[in-house]
Amino acid sequence: MTNMPLDNQKTIQFEVMRYKPGLDDAPTIENFSIPFTDDMSVLQGLQYIKDHLDGSLSFRWSCRMAICGSCGMMINNEPALSCQSFIRDYYPGKIRVEALQHFPVEKDLVIDASDFVGKLESIKPYIVPKEERSLEEGEYLQTPRQRDEYEQFSSCINCMLCYAACPQYGLDNQFTGPGVLALLHRYNADSRDGAKEERMEIVNAEEGVWGCTLVGYCSEVCPKGVDPANAVNQNKINSTMDYFLHFLKPGKGKK
Amino acid sequence: MSSRKTYVRPMKGWWLKNPFYVRYMIRESTSVFVTLYAAILLSGLICLSRGEDAWQLWISVMNHPLFIVFHFLALAACLYHAVTWFKVAPKVAPNFYIGSRRVPDMTITLIQYIIAVVCYFLLYWIIWRF
């Protein structure tokens, strides 16, 4: 894939986190010198290493166009999609590439995402129709304002950059975390959905929205313009309302 | 069978590793100054209620250079807190709509500044009027 022009070749230093499970006690940093062109992403730099310098380097990637959410990494200590980060923007400095922060490291730049995936499944990340409609009745209609309530949150690609940005998740991974709570809000805020009651139990829990201290870095690093901090903190209000409303609805007072 | 052996990185010193976290920690630590200032102000009120001698003593203590320095630090901390709070407030607020259009974050932040300025002038007016 990489056809390197030989004249005026610029090179940049990559400092890549390496970790071999079973062999290394802790991750180390390995240096690579990468020839690059202005159109190359950090992901392509890693692919150059794998193709030409060290085939044992492990990292995840798929679409190369910021939609699959697989190639999230720490680039110079900031969570970013490596396909979307261009080498030219770091030149002539170095590029330090590390596995996504706050997740257990499986090997090199590959992290164990099972905690995130488990949490994602737990929130029922799909619309549970409020009322069943037959096909003849037509589609579920929504006003532009109703759509506006959740639209930005539906852009999430599960890349987990917000988790790498969240120190509360790093300190205690019981916290449901920004991405999953933003997606939870995406469905709860949808006028067609009818599963809010069930999801509110996750919101209200100690590990739910109340684990957030509004650091706000999650919203800064999101590559899709989602604002998880907004979703989480709107739900602090919803959670408070929910708490007091339970007193007014006898028979529904679970907690 | 599995030879997985994941490595969990330590969190020690996390807040020093990113300027964003440092700013966050400064924002949170401003509460210490606000608490101390509130306690000092409360002690002043208590002294005021105990008569002129106590009040004069409190005033003379307040004139100590250390207290003057503290008050400047507390003012700076409060201003930093206010600015950062106004900035994040739209994230905490529910969605507001005018007609069918959502009120932009910038407007929410701006309205808070306007309210703050109005309050300051109101307070200033009350103090000098009465």
Q: How many CB atoms lie within 10 A of CB B74?
A: 19
Contact B14/A167, CB-based, under 8 Å?
A: yes
Instruction: Tell me how many domains chain A contains.
Output: 2
Domains defined along chain B, listed by start:
11-81 (1.20.1300.10), 93-130 (no CATH)
Express as a percent the part of chain A with pLDDT over 90: 83
Residue-wise burial string across A199-237, b where 16 or more C-beta atoms lie within 10 A, e elsewhere = bbebbbbeebbbbbebbbbbbebbbbebbbbbbbbbbbe
Residue linked to tokens 């907690």: A255
Name the residue among A102, A104, A144 with its Cβ closest to that of B100.
Answer: A144
Q: Are residues A138 and A192 in the same domain?
A: yes
Supply the pLDDT for residue B94: 82
Q: Does the pLDDT at position B106 exceed 80? A: yes
Name the residue among B6, B11, B94 with its Cβ closest to that of A112.
Answer: B6
Q: Are residues A89 and A52 in the same domain?
A: yes
Cα A177 to Cα A123: distance, rounded to the nearest angstrom = 12
Q: Does the pLDDT at position A1 exceed 60? A: no
Residue linked to tokens 């619309």: A127
Strands A28-36 and B97-98: unpaired
pLDDT 10s digits, A5-38: 556 789 999 999 999 998 999 999 999 999 999 9
Whether A4 maps to a domain, the answer reads no
Domain final position from A78, A111, A144: A111
Chain A positions touching B89 (Cβ under 8 A) are none
Chain A positions touching B6 (Cβ under 8 A) are 21, 104-106, 112
pLDDT 10s digits, A65-108: 999 999 999 999 999 999 999 999 999 999 999 999 999 999 99
In which domain, by residue range, is A40 found?
Answer: 10-111
Q: Does the pLDDT at position B23 exceed 90? A: yes
Q: Does the pLDDT at position A249 exceed 80? A: no
Q: Are residues A73 and A125 in the same domain?
A: no
Query: Distance of alpha carbon A6 from its chain centroid, rounded?
Result: 38
Q: Are residues A128 and A233 in the same domain?
A: yes
Q: Which two tokens stand for residue B94?
A: 């529910």
Q: Which two tokens stand for residue A236?
A: 């602090």
Q: Is B100 on the interface with A (CB under 8 A)?
A: yes
Q: How many CB atoms lie within 10 A of CB A184?
A: 28
The CATH number covering residue A97 comes to: 3.10.20.30
Nearest to A120, CA basis, from A72, A180, A68 = A180
A106/chain B closest Cα distance in angstroms:
5
Whether A1 maps to a domain, the answer reads no
Supply the pLDDT for residue A255: 47
Domain final position from A72, A87, A111: A111
Name the residue among A213, A220, A233 with its Cβ closest to that of B20.
Answer: A220
**Chain A residue whose CA is closest to B26:** A215
Q: Are residues A102 and A184 in the same domain?
A: no
What single-letter amino acid sits at A255? K
ipTM above 0.95, yes or no: no
Question: Taking a C-beta distance cutoff of 8 angstroms, is the pair A163, A169 a contact?
Answer: yes
- Cβ contacts of A237 within 8 Å, gap of 6 or more: B92, B94
Supply the pLDDT for residue B3: 72
Question: Taking a C-beta distance cutoff of 8 angstroms, is the pair A19, A105 a contact?
Answer: yes
Suggest the residue from B6, B15, B100 to mutate for an interface test with chain A (most A CBs closer than 10 A). B6
Q: Are residues A93 and A190 in the same domain?
A: no
Cα B16 to Cα B20: distance, rounded to the nearest angstrom = 9
Q: Are residues A122 and A45 in the same domain?
A: no
Q: Are residues A103 and A219 in the same domain?
A: no
Q: Is A237 on the interface with B (CB under 8 A)?
A: yes
Q: Are residues A34 and A91 in the same domain?
A: yes
Dihedrals φ, ψ of A13, to 5°? -85, 125
A197/chain B closest Cα distance in angstroms:
19
